Amino acid sequence: MKVQLDHVGIAVQSLEAALAFYRDALGLQVEVSEEVTSQRVRAHFISVGTSTLELLEATANDSAIAKYIARRGPGLHHLTLRVDDLDLALETLKSKGVRMIDMAPRPGAEAARVAFIHPAAAHGVLVELKEDAEGAAKTGWSGQERSARIGIIGGSGLYDMAELSDREERTLTTPFGEPSGPYTLATLRGQRVAFLARHGRGHRLLPSDLNFRANIFGFKLLGVEAIISASAVGSLREEVKPLDLMFPDQFIDRTYARRGTFFGDGLVAHVGFAQPLCGSLRQAASQTADRLGVRAHPAGTYVCMEGPQFSTLAESHLYRSWGADIIGMTNLQEAKLAREAEICYATLALVTDYDCWHPDHDSVSVEMIIRNLTQNAATAQQVIAAIVEGYAQRAECHCGSALANAILTQPDAIPDAVRRRLAPLIEKYIS
């Protein structure tokens, strides 16, 4: 059994006061922040060499951390040891008569499998065992056992889903900053899903201001293996009418002010992107729309423009001459990052109106677009719920191994900070 120190958990009265010492005085960097509402705790993970400090602040007076501080005061709460095979570790400890709190693995922070050893067996210290990514893969640890298997990104007009039940909000801070808002973890037709409003609550974020890396990395931390992304688009084809759906299979990139990769800073990787969307997930989504009787197009080319202004007339005609079918401002970076995160990704494009090439474009009003957005959102909820209901297992595709031959940097040349930051993506390939 291979054992390494993963992190030290420290219970604190105030994260702000603790960060004044660990971050500001010592100069340590906060790598990930996470709030788990079900456990009533907020955590900051701070890198220290090859290990990590986890600062834990209670968010309710009846939480485990609050009770711990009331009983023993702030200070060392637990040690976390990383093991390569948690099931084997538990069997070994049980055979040696070690007293356990958990007799079987359970979900932990950062979508990991964990189990706790009783302090009485560890000389007064609470010890957490955490399975690394490679061990989790060997034991078949799936997203459903974590926080969610399926991610849903709601675009313009789709800021929530009425069918979501058993809701829990999860606020994450990733190594790449803040996502668009909290993730809603919920049950949708028997499946655990994570929903994120792309533009934030109240539609506060421009397409160019979206933190695409944080949004997708957050889904990875939650254990998501497939993302269905809904997005409002304009049509470049007469036959692609307002209120139609399209499941595009190709992109043309017309953006210029966005970061569309997790890599760099000493780690080089190049993923294949000839087929930028998951073919299996896209096909399943298109078939679901057909079954529901929704007018949908099974394939097409999506032009992703920078915005926030819409196209000029010359640009609109140019994109039509290229053979493009729809135009939007958001989905390309999501698709690139999902591929790097080895997450299946499909776009549900919702046509609101014709782009400016169309002779009737000038008659389009804001009221008409809002009306179409509202109707599209209702259709999107129906289609997404049916897709989720029919999702039995990860699609037969190559998305889940996209990094297998993509990393060029030698493991011993990868900077420690980058290795820690990207561990959820790369650990199984470089450990």
Known catalytic residues are 353, 355
- What phi and psi values does residue 401 have, to the nearest 5 degrees? -130, 30
| Cα 317 off chain centre by | 36
- Among 130, 191, 199, 201, which residue's Cα sits nearest to residue 166? 191
DSSP symbols for 322-364: TT--EEESSHHHHHHHHHHTT-EEEEEEEEEEE-TTSTTGGG-
Tell me how far apart the alpha carbons of residues 374 and 371 are, in angstroms, rounded to a whole number: 5
Kindly report whether the peptide bond that precedes residue 242 is cis, defined as omega within 30 degrees of 0.
no
24-62 per-residue burial string, b: 16 or more CB within 10 A, e: under 16: eeeebebbbbbbbbebbbbbbbbbeeeebbbbbbbeeee
- Taking only Cα atoms into account, the Rg of the chain, rounded to an integer number of angstroms, comes to 23
Contact assessment for residue 131 and residue 86, using Cβ atoms and an 8 Å cutoff = yes
Contact assessment for residue 231 and residue 245, using Cβ atoms and an 8 Å cutoff = no
Tell me how far apart the alpha carbons of residues 290 and 347 are, in angstroms, rounded to a whole number: 16
- What phi and psi values does residue 306 have, to the nearest 5 degrees? -75, -50
> Crossing angle of helices 212-221/331-340, nearest 10°?
40
Where do we find the tokens 């029919």?
390
- Among 300, 291, 249, 276, which residue's Cα sits nearest to residue 385? 291
Tell me how far apart the alpha carbons of residues 108 and 226 are, in angstroms, rounded to a whole number: 21
87-104 per-residue burial string, b: 16 or more CB within 10 A, e: under 16: bbbbeebeeeeeebeeee
Tell me how far apart the alpha carbons of residues 341 and 401 are, in angstroms, rounded to a whole number: 9
Tell me how far apart the alpha carbons of residues 225 and 221 are, in angstroms, rounded to a whole number: 10
Tell me how far apart the alpha carbons of residues 37 and 166 are, in angstroms, rounded to a whole number: 13
Tell me how far apart the alpha carbons of residues 377 and 396 are, in angstroms, rounded to a whole number: 29
